[in-house]
């Protein structure tokens, strides 16, 4: 069964911090969650986040977005390529 909030989350943007230049930028959550490579607009560093989790693991959309932003604002806690 598809989560009814899946469409709400698919186009949402979350804040990401580059571990090299420490610049904050926004990226679509489906790119982060699916493990696609994300490029920093300032320095060009490519990163890919692993272990972000899924929407169904959280109580609400807001909780999921908060969880993803915690992981992408502190990328040294996530596995990066």
21-64 pLDDT, tens digit per residue, is: 889 999 998 888 888 899 999 999 998 887 777 777 777 888 88
Gap between the Cα atoms of 64 and 39, Å rounded = 22
- With CA atoms as reference, report the closest residue to 78 among 54, 47, 57: 47
| pTM attached to this predicted model | 0.70
Tens digits of residue pLDDT in 6-31:
556 777 888 989 888 889 999 998 88
Gap between the Cα atoms of 47 and 53, Å rounded = 17
What is the domain partition of the chain in residue ranges? 6-80
Gap between the Cα atoms of 66 and 35, Å rounded = 18
User: 19 with 74: CB under 8 angstroms?
Assistant: no
């Amino acid at each position: 069964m598809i989560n009814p909030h899946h469409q709400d989350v698919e186009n949402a943007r979350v804040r990401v911090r580059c571990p090299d230049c420490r610049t904050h930028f926004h990226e679509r959550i489906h790119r982060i969650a699916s493990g696609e490579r994300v490029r920093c607009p300032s320095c060009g560093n490519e990163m890919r986040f692993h272990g972000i989790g899924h929407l169904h693991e959280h109580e609400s959309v807001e909780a999921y977005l908060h969880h993803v932003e915690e992981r992408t604002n502190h990328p040294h806690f996530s596995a990066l390529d």
